Amino acid sequence: MNTAERIEQILRETLAATVVEVEDESALHVGHAGAASGGGHYRVKIVSPLFEGKNQVQRHRMVYNALSAEMQRTIHALALTTLAPSQLASA
Amino acid sequence: MANTDVMAQIDEQVKKHKIVIFMKGTPSFPMCGFSAATVQVLDSYNVPYASVNVLENPAIRENIKHYSSWPTIPQVYINGEFVGGCDIVREMHANGELEPLIQAAVKE
């Protein structure tokens, strides 16, 4: 399983996410100092009922907490879009 | 592990400045795309803000993650409160939530 697939699996399990879209953008950051540590850059869109009633900081913290082990090793940076199911109708 | 001396240093920066960004590089020479994008948003308001280059201070780079329970750089603080990282600051800029925060901070 690659990192993108692992991100998806973890978020579906820990945040009961109904939608997880992971794009690996590591190639865009090759050569930048932070990328030298080996961690990748990922753009992730998540829809989770647990985000309902939470602000963006709280939602992003939930994602970072769920992925904390990966953040130490295989993830250098995440670009996050966090939506509650109720926002999908209007989005 | 969080280091209390460094945490106190971070706390001092956060409380001392109305607006402060912890970033990689400086506003004139950002060393990371996320820091650059966040600086661009702050610059668009034409207000003074402080910046801390975490690349020059590894202890701050490590401890800021514990300070805010936020594992990534950049981090923006307004009036002593953690506002967010790159995505959140850009989103708040786009939806108009950031401007009143910034205006209130610089007015005081």
Domain boundaries, chain A: 3-88
Selected residues 6-45 of chain A with any CB under 8 Å from a CB in chain B: 29, 32-34
A50-66 tens-digit pLDDT: 999 999 999 999 999 99
What string of pLDDT tens digits covers the 91 residues of chain A? 899 999 999 999 999 999 999 999 887 776 665 555 567 899 999 999 999 999 999 999 999 999 999 988 889 889 999 999 999 875 5
User: Would you call A88 an interface residue with chain B, using a CB distance cutoff of 8 Å?
Assistant: no
Q: Is the dihedral of CA B37, B42, B43, B45 positive or negative?
A: positive
| Class of domain B4-107 as given by CATH | alpha beta
Are B17 and B10 a contacting pair, CB within 8 Å?
Answer: no
Chain A hits for B86, CB-CB cut-off 8 Å, are 79
Contact A60 B91 (CB under 8 A): no
Residue closest to A42 by CA, chosen among A79, A68, A70: A79
Give the closest-approach CA distance of A1 to chain B in angstroms. 24
pTM value?
0.86
Domain boundaries, chain B: 4-107
Specify the pLDDT at position B47. 96
Nearest CA in chain B to A77: B72
Give the closest-approach CA distance of B21 to chain A in angstroms. 16
- Is the ipTM here above 0.85? no
Please state, in angstroms and rounded to a whole number, the distance separating the CA atoms of residues A33 and B33. Answer: 11
Structure tokens at B60: 């701050």
User: Would you call A87 an interface residue with chain B, using a CB distance cutoff of 8 Å?
Assistant: no
Contact A32 B32 (CB under 8 A): yes
Give the closest-approach CA distance of B74 to chain A in angstroms. 11
CATH number of A3-88: 3.30.300.90
Please state, in angstroms and rounded to a whole number, the distance separating the CA atoms of residues A70 and A85. Answer: 26
